[in-house]
Structure 1
Amino acid sequence: MIRFLPRSLGGQMALLLGLALLVAQIANVALILNERQKLTLAQNQGPAIDRFAGVAADLAAAAPEFRAALLADASHRGARFAYSADSGIPPRARNAAVEARLADALADLDTRPAAVRAAITRAPEPPRLPGANRARPPESAERQLMILAVRGREGRWLTARIITPPRDPRLGIRLGAATLLLYLIVLGASIVIAMRLARPLRDLTRAADAFGGRGDPVAVPVRGPDDLRHAIVAFNAMNARVVALLDEKDRMLGAIGHDLRTPLASLRIRIEGMDPAEERVAAIATIDESTAMLEDILVLARTGRVREDARRMDVAALVEALVEDYRDMGRAVAFTPGPRAIADVQPVLLRRAVRNLVDNALAYATTATLSVAATADAVIVSIADDGPGIPPADRARMMQPFQRQDSSRNRDTGGTGLGLAIARSIAEGHGGTLTLGEAEGGGLLAEIRLPVTR
């Protein structure tokens, strides 16, 4: 059942409140309807029982010669009183509750009959006059005939047939309509409250997902109850502080990069005149490696805050142009042609990510093959090589900064271990992912998956 519950806070609140209110309303309606039915029965049956008990007490106290006149006088307004040899009530038709009430009413009048009988049945239809409308009033089907009988000491039965007023046929309908109206009003108010709480929370979630430490933060509109308003204000302030810290970090990295490049360039100039030649070449290679490492670190640190605007372009054409550059340099890089693949990308950053993956492939393999595919919601750039590949258990670790399969720092076999980390950071900055797998025939398959619309 849990999988059928709404996932949103507003939906769950509305559903739970609606179910709780529905159960409460059903129980309330059942209790009210039961009490109203009891009250209706008491109002309809009580006067008939009291009327019969009064007539029975009068007849018991009257002289025999006056009893016929009393019976005739009492037989009106839907009641017929008579003496008979039996009660006229079959044993299976007896109503014990009415008999008990009748016995109590007679006892209150100091009348102690030898036996009491009572039954309730449907009242007969009233006779139709010639030419009258043949349609029967709807309340006539609800009228009941109460048959009451008591046996006196002389052995005769005093019987009465009294038609009780009809019950309200629309009581259940009116009560149900009033209950439904109340239910809809309370449920509507509950849904409004739930939506009022859920809407600012959705705004917070969207803002957090959209920011992710890259670009400018999304300011969340301040609305909702005071508690949520305070939380939104604190969230916006936190975003502003995070952006300020990131900007300060970028300025600090720029200053560090400038301060380190200058002495490295000066040291290289001094070393170029150093003898012997073997040591000079080794020292220059060390400086070049340090400079390249510094550039990679700065690129990785600044990837998430690059201010390059995204442009809608053909990713396949961008990758094919990059492959042509490698071919011009005599590198064994191939491109598998495919259909156009349009996406919103930052071209400079995307070239850097693809170049890092190609350089990583060529460092451990002899060839690299690139291809671009497009799906309904993503553009996939694939780089496959014929090298040894990466074991599945190490692939996630290899995309972390400064991680390499071997422990050396030789740039000819992988450099500082920042290439995959930079490529992953660029892919995530586009709202996409970088995954490592196994190419056909062995080797490593790296895939950058970019969303079609950012």
Structure 2
Amino acid sequence: MKRFLPHSLAGQMALLVGLALLIAQIANFALILNERQKLSLAQNEGPAITRFAGVAADLAQAAPEFRADLIADNSHRGARFALAADSGVAANDRDTAIEAKLNDALTDLALPASAVRAAIGGGTADFGRDRGRNPPSDMQVVRLAVQGADHQWLTGRILTPRRDPWLTMRLGAATLLLYLIVLGASLWLTLRIARPLRDLTRAAERFQGRADPIVVEPSGPDDLRLAIEAFNAMNRRVVMLIDEKDHMLGAIGHDLRTPLASLRIRIESMEPEDERDAAIVKIGEMAAMLEDILVLARSGRAREELRRIDVSALAEAVTEDYVELGRPVTFEPSERYVLEVQPNLLRRALRNLLDNAVSYGGSARVDVVAVDGGVEIRVMDAGPGIAVEDLERVLQPFHRLESSRNRDTGGTGLGLAIAQSIVENHGGRLRLSQAEPMGLVAAIFLPFVVENA
């Protein structure tokens, strides 16, 4: 059941308000219709009932020889009374509401009645002949009957205004109109609240601290405007902190490179030679690790401009560089795909993947293919691969698999993390998967449209 319910704020509020209004309007319609029907009964049939009860009371007090004259005297002005052996009202024509009103009127006059009958309709032709014309179309006949102590029935047919046949329809139309007006106003208010929240959510999802602060235009109620303005201010503060971090890392990198270079110069004259070479190697490792840390820290805020280039040609050029160095790397001929990328950073990411493939897989094969929504640059090796449970963890900074990646290979555990950061800066993703029958596939997905965030 839950899967059919709306999940958005606007949808849930619209559903809740709509159902609440519908229930309220149905209840309101039923109450108003009942009251209007009671009012119609009191206004239309009420006078006829009062008149009939009065005639019945007079007839009960009159002497038998005067009853016929009494009935004749009251049979005028749209009314006709008579004494009969039966009520003249069929069982399926009875109107219990009018009978209840008639019984109450007779009780108020302290007039005992063995039975009462009431119905609407019938007998209009007699009124037409009595008056010389047919009754108007907006009139109806109320038939009333009461049984006296002598078991005779006093019957009466009285003309009354016809009940409004369009009452239910008019009330229904008015209720529906009111429901639509209130629902429309509620939906407008819901959308006015939901639209700024949707913009705020999209901005929060897009924000990664890699470009200028995302500014959301304040809109909606004052509470939402304040929240959006606070979000914009927070974005600016976060970007400022990241800029300060970049400047600090740049200064730290400069301050560390200088003493490392000076230390290497001094060590080059150190004896014995084997200890000197080991120290130089360690200093080289420290310099390489420092450079990787700085690249990782600043890759998300790289200032390189986006340029439209052929990514297939870029991958092929990087592959040729490895081939010229005698590395076992091949490039599969691929279609040409022109995308907006940061060429230098993308080369760095691809080189990191190739270094991993050659170092731990023995060789690498590169191809470029089109996929849904973008392009994939795939680097495949034929090495032992990585266990499925480790595929996500190896993308974390400084994470190495002890079985294959250690200090002796020169790895710092930052190559894949740097590649992933660069790819995400392009709005893409880095995916690792097992190759068949063995090996690892590292795929760089680049979307056709890059959104800076």
**Residues 91/333 of structure 1: CA separation in 2 closer, same or farther (3 Å cut):** closer
Name 1:132's counterpart in structure 2: none
| Letter of the 2:339 counterpart | A
Q: Does 1:191 align with 2:190?
A: no
Of 99-108 and 226-235, more deviation after overlay is shown by 99-108
Whole-Å separation in 1 of the counterparts to 2:266 and 2:65: 151
Q: Does 1:358 align with 2:357?
A: no
SS in 2 for 1:250: helix
Instruction: Tell whether the 8 Å contact from 1:264 to 1:291 is kept in structure 2 after alignment.
Output: yes
Deviations 1:11-61 (A, max 9, x none): 221221111111111111011112222222233332222111111222333
**Residues 278/31 of structure 1: CA separation in 2 closer, same or farther (3 Å cut):** same
Number of aligned pairs? 444
SS in 2 for 1:301: helix
| Letter of the 1:256 counterpart | I
Aligned-residue offset at 1:410: 5.9
Aligned-residue offset at 1:418: 0.7
Aligned-residue offset at 1:94: 5.3
Whole-Å separation in 2 of the counterparts to 1:408 and 1:365: 10
Q: Does 1:397 align with 2:393?
A: yes
Whole-Å separation in 2 of the counterparts to 1:387 and 1:179: 74
Name 1:117's counterpart in structure 2: 116
Equivalent residue runs for 1:26-37 within 5 Å: 26-37=26-37
Equivalent residue runs for 1:4-403 within 5 Å: 4-90=4-90, 98-113=98-113, 115-123=114-122, 143=140, 145-153=142-150, 156-403=152-399
Aligned-residue offset at 1:324: 1.1
Whole-Å separation in 2 of the counterparts to 1:138 and 1:389: 95
Instruction: Tell whether the 8 Å contact from 1:99 to 1:116 is kept in structure 2 after alignment.
Output: no
Whole-Å separation in 2 of the counterparts to 1:229 and 1:103: 66
Instruction: Tell whether the 8 Å contact from 1:203 to 1:220 is kept in structure 2 after alignment.
Output: yes
Whole-Å separation in 2 of the counterparts to 1:137 and 1:150: 30
Instruction: Tell whether the 8 Å contact from 1:409 to 1:415 is kept in structure 2 after alignment.
Output: yes
Instruction: Tell whether the 8 Å contact from 1:149 to 1:160 is kept in structure 2 after alignment.
Output: no
Whole-Å separation in 2 of the counterparts to 1:70 and 1:17: 63
Whole-Å separation in 2 of the counterparts to 1:399 and 1:160: 98
**Residues 419/50 of structure 1: CA separation in 2 closer, same or farther (3 Å cut):** same
Instruction: Tell whether the 8 Å contact from 1:80 to 1:162 is kept in structure 2 after alignment.
Output: yes
Instruction: Tell whether the 8 Å contact from 1:380 to 1:449 is kept in structure 2 after alignment.
Output: yes
| Letter of the 2:416 counterpart | L
Aligned-residue offset at 1:124: 5.2
| Letter of the 2:119 counterpart | I
SS in 2 for 1:371: strand
Deviations 1:260-309 (A, max 9, x none): 11122222223333344333332222222221111111100101111112
SS in 2 for 1:83: strand
Equivalent residue runs for 1:400-419 within 5 Å: 400-406=396-402, 413-419=409-415
Deviations 1:346-371 (A, max 9, x none): 11111111100100111112210111
| Letter of the 1:365 counterpart | G
Aligned-residue offset at 1:73: 2.8
Name 1:133's counterpart in structure 2: none
**Residues 138/368 of structure 1: CA separation in 2 closer, same or farther (3 Å cut):** farther
User: For structure 2, which runs of at least 5 residues remain unmatched after alignment?
Assistant: 129-134
Whole-Å separation in 2 of the counterparts to 1:139 and 1:366: 102
Deviations 1:114-144 (A, max 9, x none): x3331314335659x9xxxxxx99857xx45
Aligned-residue offset at 1:72: 2.4
Whole-Å separation in 1 of the counterparts to 2:30 and 2:58: 42
Question: Among residues 444, 447, 452, which one is paired with 2:448 in the alignment?
Answer: 452
Whole-Å separation in 1 of the counterparts to 2:143 and 2:240: 90
Whole-Å separation in 1 of the counterparts to 2:367 and 2:228: 45
Name 2:132's counterpart in structure 1: none
SS in 2 for 1:159: strand
Aligned-residue offset at 1:443: 1.0
**Residues 262/169 of structure 1: CA separation in 2 closer, same or farther (3 Å cut):** same
| Letter of the 1:172 counterpart | T
* Identical pairs, percent: 63
User: For structure 1, which runs of at least 5 residues remain unmatched after alignment?
Assistant: 130-135
Whole-Å separation in 1 of the counterparts to 2:153 and 2:123: 23
Whole-Å separation in 2 of the counterparts to 1:399 and 1:147: 93
Aligned-residue offset at 1:406: 2.2
**Residues 424/116 of structure 1: CA separation in 2 closer, same or farther (3 Å cut):** same
Aligned-residue offset at 1:428: 1.4
Name 2:131's counterpart in structure 1: none
Instruction: Tell whether the 8 Å contact from 1:432 to 1:450 is kept in structure 2 after alignment.
Output: yes
| Letter of the 2:171 counterpart | L
Instruction: Tell whether the 8 Å contact from 1:53 to 1:105 is kept in structure 2 after alignment.
Output: yes
SS in 1 for 2:401: coil
Whole-Å separation in 1 of the counterparts to 2:307 and 2:243: 24
Of 155-164 and 283-292, more deviation after overlay is shown by 155-164
Instruction: Tell whether the 8 Å contact from 2:45 to 2:142 is kept in structure 1 after alignment.
Output: no
CA RMSD of aligned residues (A): 2.6
Instruction: Tell whether the 8 Å contact from 2:89 to 2:119 is kept in structure 1 after alignment.
Output: no
Of 367-376 and 95-104, more deviation after overlay is shown by 95-104
Q: TM-score, normalised by structure 1?
A: 0.90
Instruction: Tell whether the 8 Å contact from 2:385 to 2:440 is kept in structure 1 after alignment.
Output: yes
Aligned-residue offset at 1:65: 4.8
Whole-Å separation in 2 of the counterparts to 1:121 and 1:369: 96
